[in-house]
């Protein structure tokens, strides 16, 4: 998407996935900034937090908006660097999973509004979807990689996605953590997607205490995996007190968490059955 936005401009592009570029950015950030002078788009910038102070200097000296486009796939590391060095100098944009309109190539639509007439106009010309199609869309999710590659790589992508979050980003936020317990916690949360938040029920299913549930939900929210939908009320106090509903940003992630749980349960049952057969044969 960012590369698409750069078309027709003289903006330079550099990614810190490139090891030599990352090494230069970390070891000599001043030379890096001089080599890739603005306007520039730096991808995966969280790998070199040393750049942020030099970007700050450039921003303050040039006073030109849009000189630096920064992106990163590790939200926590990126935001930590931004908040420490670029507070008040940066605008933040979250990239959500693709919408149904984007996936199925409908005509570009106007910004969403709750106006009923605008909603009616929005649905005109959009073909109906059968229940089977709707369930398939929910299962497939909206991640660009899975949409581009097709259903064949969908399961592999989501399983790797979950594993990466567990082994990298979750540990960054909470240090030493029981990965198996956290995965069981994610399954319990996924099972209650679109329902009122119930800390006790999640704690019982995940076999952890409620304080840990609240802490781990904060982790999922910080990583941009879930969000809360608070009830509407004219009374602000009521909105604050009443329990919100919990949603995942991507439905494919919810379905994968449930699938992994069922696969794990099947493997456990198969192991127990094999052990039982061995005992019977002794």
- What is the model's pLDDT at position 214? 92
Please compute the mean of the pLDDT values over residues 211-225 and round it to a whole number. Answer: 88
Residue whose structure tokens are 């959009």 = 126
Which has the higher per-residue pLDDT, 154 or 236?
154
Rounded percentage of the chain residues whose pLDDT exceeds 90: 20
Question: Rounded to an integer, what distance in angstroms lies between the CA atom of residue 91 and that of residue 146?
Answer: 28
Confidence tier at 111 by pLDDT (50, 70, 90): confident
Please compute the mean of the pLDDT values over residues 58-72 and round it to a whole number. Answer: 86
Please compute the mean of the pLDDT values over residues 37-66 and round it to a whole number. Answer: 87
Average pLDDT of the chain is 80
- What is the model's pLDDT at position 154? 81
Which has the higher per-residue pLDDT, 8 or 193?
193
Please compute the mean of the pLDDT values over residues 248-263 and round it to a whole number. Answer: 76
- What is the model's pLDDT at position 201? 93
For residue 255, the cross-strand partners are none
- What is the model's pLDDT at position 211? 92
The pLDDT tens digits for 166-182 are 777 777 667 677 878 88
Domain 151-260: assigned CATH number: 1.10.10.10
- Given a contact cutoff of 8 angstroms between Cβ atoms, the answer to whether 147 and 140 are in contact is yes
Confidence tier at 273 by pLDDT (50, 70, 90): very low
For residue 263, pLDDT over 70 is answered with no
Confidence tier at 259 by pLDDT (50, 70, 90): low
Q: Which two tokens stand for residue 185?
A: 């916690």
Which of 144, 188, 181 is CA-nearest to residue 166?
181
Burial degree of 268 (CB within 10 A; 0-12, 13-18, 19+):
exposed
Please compute the mean of the pLDDT values over residues 215-231 and round it to a whole number. Answer: 87
Sequence spans of domains, the chain: 2-85, 151-260
């Amino acid at each position: 998407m960012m590369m698409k936005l750069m078309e027709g401009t003289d903006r330079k592009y550099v990614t810190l996935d490139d090891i030599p570029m990352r090494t230069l950015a970390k070891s000599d950030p001043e030379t890096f900034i001089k080599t890739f002078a603005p306007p520039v788009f730096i991808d995966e910038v969280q790998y070199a937090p040393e750049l942020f102070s030099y970007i700050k200097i450039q921003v303050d000296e040039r006073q030109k908006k849009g000189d630096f486009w920064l992106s990163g796939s590790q939200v926590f590391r990126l935001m930590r660097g931004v908040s420490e060095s670029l507070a008040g100098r940066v605008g933040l944009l979250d990239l959500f999973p693709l919408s149904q309109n984007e996936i199925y190539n409908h005509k570009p639509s106007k910004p969403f509004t709750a106006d009923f007439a605008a909603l009616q106009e929005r649905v005109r010309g959009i073909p109906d979807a059968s229940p089977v199609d709707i369930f398939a869309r929910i299962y497939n999710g909206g991640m660009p990689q899975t949409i581009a590659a097709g259903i064949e790589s969908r399961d592999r992508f989501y399983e790797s996605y979950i594993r990466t979050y567990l082994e990298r980003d979750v540990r960054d936020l909470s240090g030493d953590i029981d990965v198996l317990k956290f995965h069981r916690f994610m399954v319990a949360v996924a099972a209650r997607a679109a329902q009122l938040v119930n800390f006790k029920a999640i704690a019982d299913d995940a076999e952890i205490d409620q304080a840990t549930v609240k802490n781990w939900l904060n982790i999922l929210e910080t990583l941009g995996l879930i969000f809360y939908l608070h009830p509407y009320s004219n009374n602000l106090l009521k909105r604050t007190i009443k329990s919100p509903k919990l949603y995942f940003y991507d439905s494919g992630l919810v379905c994968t968490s449930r699938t992994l749980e069922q696969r794990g349960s099947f493997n456990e049952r198969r192991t127990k059955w094999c052990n039982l057969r061995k005992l019977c044969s002794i």
